[in-house]
Chains A and B, each alone.
Chain A
Amino acid sequence: MEHSGDIILKAEKIVKSFGGVHALKGVDLEIRRGEIHCLAGENGCGKSTLIKIISGDYVADSGSVTLNGTRYTKLTPIESIGEGVQVIYQDFAVFPNLTVMENIAATQTLMEHKKTVNWKHYREIAQEAVSKIGFSIDFDERVENLSVANKQLVAISRALLMSAKLIIMDEPTTALTKKEVAALFKIIKNLQASGISILFVSHKMDEVYEICDRLTVFRNGENVITTDIKEVDQKKFAYYMTGREFKQEQYTCAHPGETVLEVQDLGLPGAYEDISFCVRKGDIYGITGLLGSGRTELALSLFGMLRAKTGRILIGGKQARIHSVADAQKYGIGYVPEDRATEALFLPQSIENNMIVSVLDSYTDKNGVYHAGALRRLAEEWRESLHIKIRRLSDPVSSLSGGNQQKVVLAKWLASDLRVLILNGPTVGVDIGSKYDIHQILRDLAAQGIAIIMISDDLSELLPNCNRMMIMRGGRTVCEMDTSSTTEREVANIISDTAARC
């Protein structure tokens, strides 16, 4: 038995229901001082509910939370903060229109009940906070202009000011590049060395293995296992989370068909230059590179949101003029954007409306009246064939899980006459089960002759699912390769090492 002083947090038999639903059915969680503990599980398994109970946002129906040896049955947010619990949410809860300095110092000065603003004091506070994690930044920059990674660091600095003992990070790496993840992990390790515990909520297996000491897995509101990370391999991990066994073979394309999309010397000053590649029927073509490597701009140019200044795009061997999204649609190009919530979906609108938006024009007669019946049947078909779990097509898309939402985005494009599908981060924020489903859908589509371009940071996703890939750096192609002849490590090196080529 360990001494209770070594346990910073002990949640026991936590039950929480919403309406008639048991979100948590008596779960336990124990975090030791100075450990990095991973909490994993699929969407809806109760992870976020437990976090909100630990932070005092929700009150548990029964069970207790013991923080630093004090037992609470009705923990309030103030008590939680007082015990040194800090949560870094996915959206970081920063104020985008304020400066870095204001963001960091605002809470602290609020706690001091200061009525007036002393800028010198602000700067001192910010300085102190930032030095704790050894990161340098312009204090007067507005937070909205920062990269995702830097926003996160601002949120972490702010948390440290509140003399945090336990920092909970909710899927902290979702929007970070490999390099930024590495920097974040270094900071996490430093925090650990200074005795702070970290609860790392994630379902990215490679990261969990890299950073965490122990692992707790939830499924459907129940504990599945708590163990040392060394005890579980990746396969077991996926099984614990989903209760399903997955086997994913390397995607290969033995008999590629004719070339569907060919890009020749495409360039857009300031974004990318001299890009050439081609995608054939049956290909799943991967594109990777750091943020700012030009990969997103390239995708947007193929989709007509940006216009390339030099070079040509050929569709089916003929030069294509893609000056608008509507042009791209005419050529049968679909695009699944990076940010599902803001770029791809109409969250409060019905699932049906979201699915049909891209094909509306082809179901409209010359009087501008659209064919509602045919569109409904189309939506029904896609719901069936993509196995989207929904109650009714008239429910808002916001009621779906991340995985099902992404399937709706796919349906939106599949409903049209598709020849090329470009996916930018195809499974960001999607649970493992749906991730596997989506990869399977993409393989099926490729088999049907749709050229697929998959853009991703996640090499463990890209390599097994693509047969060919291209690595971009600083707006140029550094390498094009067959995925079967490379490894994640090799690709990661090429991406980040400015000298490497292949």
Chain B
Amino acid sequence: MKTQAAFSNRFQSFSERNSNLLRLLAVFVIVFAFFAITKQGAFLKPETFASMAVQLPEYSILALGVALTLISGGIDLSVVGIANLAGILMALFLSTAATDAAPDAVPLYIAGAAAIGFLVGLSCGAFNGLLVSRFRIPPILATMGTMQIFTGLAIVITEGKSVSGLVPAYEHGINSALFGWLPVPLLMFIACAAWVSFVLNKTNYGQKLYMLGTNEKAAAFSGIHTNTVLMKTYIYSGLLAIVASLIMMGRNASAKADTGSSYTLQCVLICVLGGVKTEGGFGKVSGIVVAVLILQTISTGLNLFREINNFYRGLIWGAVLVAVLIANCIIEQKEQAKLMKKLSMEEAAEA
């Protein structure tokens, strides 16, 4: 009896702390059930889940970076630009230098390409960070500008053409699955999500990021080097974009200046749906992961409806984003009211 009460108490406090996550899981179950019922066999088959598992990692990893910048009170709209610029430079390196390489030297070339990629991610992220911290440019404008710069550079370099002819070993590696069932891209997403979660929950930087995102002035008055934290945040976002870029390059067997142009909106949508507050200071990886599952299920499920062709995609994502923003606003107001009521009831009980 006593343990049961303790358990229900613990459950209550868990559900209080994770109300957003539970709500998201409920949405996921509903969405999943909807397609399972309406499309049945066509939806509930292994191939569907296999394709979902390789489709979702690239934009989800980008979303993790965007989430970090949102928590800092900013935003990074340039992640797709960074990924494409780096992708093109990596692809150029592999297609020119590595094609004639000896088989046992190929891994070295791949490592070299990745190094180039991460260097690009680091520089682009640092550039964003500099604009946002040192020059105090509103992040939405700063990264909108750099998005154009990075994409523009990529277009100039390639003259708009796609760069293909990578080493087959690389394509093969990205498109394979560990133990035969765990696709490499998904594994990379899991690793990135675990890393971001660790950074946010356990590290000094993560704690400072939450505080900075809540109130930058108070952060400065508390001795936090706000510019350093911001720099780090945009660099992390840039580096995560490179991981996404590695997947995109391998899956497409090429790199192009305009790959994944719809991902920017999708990333913001995932973050907002996942409970990352656009005004900064709040957001968890668990929410983002469930949000990814929801969106990928909707995306895959809608593909099964012949009537809804690809032209609808942008319209649907935009509508979902606006709907989620409205829902968040209403939920927040309700929770605020609930909290106030609870607090004042306790005060009354004390009196």
Contact = CB atoms under 8 A, between A and B. Distances in A.
Interface of A: 18-23, 44, 220, 305, 324-326, 328-329, 335, 337, 342-349, 353, 357-358, 360-361, 364, 368-370, 372, 391, 394-396, 399, 412
28 contacts: A18-B340, A18-B341, A18-B344, A19-B341, A19-B344, A19-B345, A20-B341, A21-B347, A220-B351, A305-B221, A325-B220, A325-B223, A342-B217, A343-B218, A346-B211, A346-B218, A349-B210, A357-B222, A357-B224, A358-B222, A360-B204, A368-B205, A369-B203, A370-B202, A370-B204, A372-B202, A391-B343, A394-B17
A289 B347 CA distance: 39
B217 A343 contact: yes
Contacts of A18: 340-341, 344
A399 B345 contact: no
Given A18-B341, A19-B344, A20-B345, A346 B215 contact: yes
A325 B218 CA distance: 12
B348 A20 contact: yes
A21 B345 contact: yes
A18 B346 CA distance: 12
Contacts of A348: 214, 281-282
B283 to A, nearest CB: 13
Contacts of B191: none
Nearest to A340: B218
B339 interface: yes
B203 A368 contact: yes
Contacts of B203: 364, 368-370
A181 B211 CA distance: 36
A120 B340 CA distance: 46
A329 B219 CA distance: 13
A325 B221 contact: yes
Interface in B286-342: 339-342
Contacts of B23: none
A327 B207 CA distance: 20
B218 A22 contact: no
Contacts of A22: 348
Interface of B: 17, 202-205, 207-208, 210-211, 214-215, 217-225, 281-282, 339-348, 351
Contacts of A372: 202
B211 A369 contact: no
A173 B140 CA distance: 39
A478 B220 CA distance: 32
Contact of B204 (A324, A335, A369): A369
A256 B204 CA distance: 39
A349 B348 contact: no
A202 B105 CA distance: 79
Name the 6 nearest CB pairs between A and B, nearest first.
A19-B341, A21-B344, A364-B204, A21-B348, A346-B214, A325-B223
A425 to B, nearest CB: 14
Given A18-B340, A353-B211, A368-B205, A412 B222 contact: yes
A193 to B, nearest CB: 41
A344 B348 contact: no
Contacts of B341: 18-21
A359 to B, nearest CB: 10
Contact of A347 (B215, B219, B221): B215
A44 B350 CA distance: 13
Nearest to A337: B221
B305 to A, nearest CB: 41
B69 to A, nearest CB: 18
Contacts of A364: 203-204
A357 B220 contact: no
B339 A399 contact: yes
Contact of B220 (A220, A305, A399, A412): A305
A237 B204 CA distance: 48
Given A20-B345, A394-B17, A349 B281 contact: yes
Contacts of B223: 325-326, 328-329, 358, 361
B351 A345 contact: no
A282 B287 CA distance: 51
A347 B214 CA distance: 8
A108 to B, nearest CB: 32
A217 to B, nearest CB: 17
A71 B321 CA distance: 49
B211 A349 contact: yes
A412 B223 CA distance: 11
Given A326-B225, A349-B281, A353-B211, 8 more contacts: A325-B220, A343-B221, A346-B215, A364-B203, A364-B204, A369-B202, A370-B202, A391-B343
A220 B204 CA distance: 42
B134 to A, nearest CB: 15
A44 B207 CA distance: 32
A39 B203 CA distance: 49
B347 A353 contact: no
B204 A44 contact: no
A44 B351 CA distance: 12
Contacts of B351: 220
A393 to B, nearest CB: 13
A305 B217 CA distance: 11
Q: Which of A18, A23, A343, A357 counts the most B-chain CB atoms under 10 A from its CB?
A: A357
A345 B215 contact: yes
Contacts of B348: 20-22
Given A348-B282, A358-B222, A370 B217 contact: no
Contacts of B339: 396, 399
Nearest to A350: B210
B207 A353 contact: yes
A220 B225 CA distance: 43
Contacts of B346: 391
